[in-house]
Amino acid sequence: MDPETLERLDCLIDEAGLEETDLIGAMQDIQRELNYLPEEAMRLVAQKIGVPLSQVYSIATFYKTFSLEPRGRHLINVCMGTACHVRGGVQILEKLKRILGIDTGGTTNDQRFSLEAVRCLGCCGLAPVIMIDGKFHGKLTQKGLDRILEQYE
């Protein structure tokens, strides 16, 4: 990691706070900044806040919001909950895999999209649903996917 990025992360951690209770917030800020949590960043946050690296790792691997691999600029969450499953969620996921040329958990070569399958997104009335960068797209059809993806550079 280059010195400028490390310095930026150092500031982010300072701004989040240096108490143990600030740990997850600092990790979220780093995740937002880099789109993932590289080992060097996890070492830095552990050292600055004064917690074991293993604690940072266990948080990073427990919460889906964190990624240990570089993610794309846009994260697509495809709902695999019951209502979405019944209304074609699996076909939506398969179509997205074909369009993007990646598998679940993967990232496109141009770093544009990452694809994840998740449990119920909490808006079953809109099934089948995907969420891109926190925005819901519901009552999906396979045909409509290209137009939705076009909105994300």
Q: How far is the CB of 141 from ligand FES (least distance, A)?
A: 15
Whichever of 101 and 125 has its CB closer to ligand FES, that residue is: 125
Q: Which residues, at least 6 apart from 95, have a Cβ–Cβ distance to it below 8 Å? A: 142, 145
Phi, psi of 130 (to 5 degrees): -125, 160
Task: Return d(Cα 151, Cα 94) in angstroms, integer.
Answer: 20
Binding site for ligand FES (CB under 6 A): 79, 81-84, 120-124, 127, 129
Residue nearer to ligand FES on the CB measure, 45 or 121: 121
Nearer to ligand FES, 32 or 119 (CB): 119
Residue closest to ligand FES (Cβ): 81
**Site of tokens 């059809």:** 141
